[in-house]
């Protein structure tokens, strides 16, 4: 058994002496953030559902968000920047919009496609770790995050980052996936004998999925760091993420854009992996694929 009290460095060095190579591979990634998604281009080509869904949710809660024009806003886990530009960019006449993501390919893509370089900028930042002193000098009137925070397990650190980056009176608008069966499928895959040696992962991918009160896991650390909760709501969303056509190929293309493990699967096994994933989705969720999810919307404010 690994002693949980060991620091991650100590854990890794002890693991070097005590573990088999495949276990070592998994342990190495256990305490680090791994890169998700195969390609930014592909993610962007399928981003329309994320755009529509973020727009739907934001429009529904817009009246709860204060302020507006001439403000500086941050989009955490911005991915390819499609939602940043097409949803946030059209919401108000913000003065400046900064998008951050820990995936440098996403950030490179987002910067390349930014419609106005004076207004938009995208930076590589890992929000699951304490942000750098340099970045925390920036202050934002609004912090948005769409479909990203459920991936970040250091919720106290994430909450502190939000607090530190908000200007006084600033608000955070957070949309998380608090439940979708697809996370249970990925957790099963990560433990399956066929795939576990390739997957740099241990433990639930999205802890919210297994929590009785997922909102508490998100809200408690935000309150702890001194933020006021303006709103917290759970919404069941149906048919939000559907494939373009009712074919296996189309469903696989859709799954590929959000799958966190495909990148780690050897090239010659990727097709087999996707086939297995689709089969599991059809069996556990339904013939249309992973189209539904439960949204957790949290609006928090810094006094
Ligand atoms: C499902 S995508 C959502 C992207 C975009 N917000 C959208 O709605 O299309 C989740 C994004 O969160 C990013 N992400 C996950 N963990 C992160 C972390 N620790 N720090 C920064 N970004 C992270 C991923 O790289 C990915 O681009």
DSSP letters along 229-269, please?
Answer: EEEEEEEEE-S-S--SSSSHHHHHHHHHHH-SSGGGS-GGG
Query: Has residue 1 got a pLDDT over 60?
Result: no
Range scoring the smallest mean pLDDT among 122-136, 190-204, 218-232: 190-204
* Rounded Cα gap, residues 13 and 11, in angstroms: 6
List, for residues 227-286, the tens digit of each pLDDT value.
999 999 999 999 999 888 889 999 998 898 889 999 899 999 999 999 999 999 999 999
Residue found by looking up tokens 């969303």 in the block: 237
Chain mean pLDDT for the chain: 87
Query: Has residue 33 got a pLDDT over 90?
Result: no
Query: Has residue 31 got a pLDDT over 60?
Result: no
Q: Considering only CA atoms, which residue is closest to atom 25 of ligand 1? A: 103
The answer, yes or no, to whether any atom of ligand 1 lies below 6 A from the CB of 83, is: yes
Identify whether residues 52 and 3 lie together within a single domain.
no
CA 131 → CA 151, 164, 172, distances in Å? Answer: 17, 9, 17
Ligand 1 pocket test, candidate residues 151, 160, 161, most atoms within 8 A of CB: 151
Range scoring the smallest mean pLDDT among 31-35, 97-101, 114-118: 31-35
The residue range of the domain holding 115 is 40-301
The number of distinct structural domains making up the chain is 2
SS3 string of 161-212?
A: HHHHHEEEEEEEEEEEEEECHHHHHHHHHHHCCCCHHHCCCCCCCCHHHHCC
Identify whether residues 80 and 222 lie together within a single domain.
yes
Identify whether residues 223 and 121 lie together within a single domain.
yes
The answer, yes or no, to whether any atom of ligand 1 lies below 6 A from the CB of 126, is: yes
Identify whether residues 100 and 20 lie together within a single domain.
no
Helix (H/G/I), strand (E/B), else coil: 101: strand
* Rounded Cα gap, residues 241 and 95, in angstroms: 31
The number of the ligand 1 atom at minimal distance from the alpha carbon of 53 is: 8
Residue 46's pLDDT band (cuts 50, 70, 90): confident
Identify whether residues 8 and 147 lie together within a single domain.
no
Q: Does residue 89 contact residue 128 with C-beta atoms inside 8 Å?
A: no
Identify whether residues 23 and 116 lie together within a single domain.
no
Identify whether residues 1 and 76 lie together within a single domain.
no
Helix (H/G/I), strand (E/B), else coil: 104: helix
Q: How many angstroms does the Cα of residue 79 sit away from the middle of ligand 1?
A: 5
Identify whether residues 146 and 6 lie together within a single domain.
no
Identify whether residues 160 and 188 lie together within a single domain.
yes
Q: What pTM, to 2 d.p., does this model score?
A: 0.88
The CATH number of the domain where 46 resides is what? 3.40.50.150
**Long-range contacts (CB closer than 8 Å, 24 or more residues apart) made by 264-272:** 264/34, 264/198, 264/199, 264/200, 265/195, 265/198, 265/199, 266/198, 269/198
Identify whether residues 154 and 204 lie together within a single domain.
yes
List, for residues 164-212, the tens digit of each pLDDT value.
999 999 999 999 999 999 999 999 999 999 999 999 777 799 999 999 9
Identify whether residues 58 and 25 lie together within a single domain.
no
Instruction: Give the number of other Cβ atoms within 10 Å of residue 130's Cβ.
Output: 14
Residue 38's pLDDT band (cuts 50, 70, 90): low
pLDDT at 36: 59
* Rounded Cα gap, residues 175 and 178, in angstroms: 9
The number of the ligand 1 atom at minimal distance from the alpha carbon of 258 is: 1
Residue 65 main-chain phi, psi, to 5 deg: -95, 125
pLDDT at 37: 63
Mean pLDDT on 116-124: 97
Residue 154 main-chain phi, psi, to 5 deg: -85, 70
Q: How many angstroms does the Cα of residue 260 sit away from the middle of ligand 1?
A: 11
Identify whether residues 235 and 121 lie together within a single domain.
yes
Residue 5's pLDDT band (cuts 50, 70, 90): very low
The answer, yes or no, to whether any atom of ligand 1 lies below 6 A from the CB of 195, is: no
């Amino acid at each position: 058994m690994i002693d949980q009290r060991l620091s991650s460095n100590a854990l890794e060095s002890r693991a070097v002496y005590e573990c088999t190579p495949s276990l070592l591979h998994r342990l190495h990634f256990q305490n680090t953030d791994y890169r998700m998604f195969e390609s930014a281009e592909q993610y962007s080509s399928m981003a329309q559902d994320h755009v529509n869904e973020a727009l739907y949710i934001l429009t529904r809660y817009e009246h709860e968000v204060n302020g507006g024009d001439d403000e500086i806003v941050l989009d955490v886990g911005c991915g390819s920047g499609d939602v940043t530009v097409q949803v946030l960019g059209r919401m108000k006449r913000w003065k400046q919009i900064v998008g951050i993501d820990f995936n440098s390919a996403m950030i490179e893509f987002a910067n390349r496609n930014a419609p106005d370089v004076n207004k938009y900028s995208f930076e590589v930042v890992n929000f699951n770790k304490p942000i750098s002193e340099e970045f925390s000098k920036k202050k934002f009137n609004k912090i948005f995050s769409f479909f990203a925070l459920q991936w970040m397990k250091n919720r106290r650190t994430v909450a502190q980052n939000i607090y530190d980056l908000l200007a006084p009176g600033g608000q955070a608008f957070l949309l998380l996936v608090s439940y979708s069966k697809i996370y249970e499928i990925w957790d099963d895959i990560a433990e399956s004998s066929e795939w576990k040696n390739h997957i740099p992962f241990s433990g639930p991918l999205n802890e919210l999925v297994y929590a009785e009160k997922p909102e508490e896991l998100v809200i408690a650390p935000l309150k702890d760091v001194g933020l006021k909760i303006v709103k917290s709501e759970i919404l069941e969303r149906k048919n939000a993420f559907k494939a373009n056509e009712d074919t296996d190929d189309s469903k696989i293309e859709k799954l590929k854009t959000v799958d966190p493990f495909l990148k780690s699967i050897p090239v010659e096994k990727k097709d087999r992996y996707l086939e297995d994933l689709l089969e599991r989705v059809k069996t556990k969720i339904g013939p249309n694929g992973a189209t539904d999810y439960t949204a957790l919307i949290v609006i928090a404010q810094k006094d």
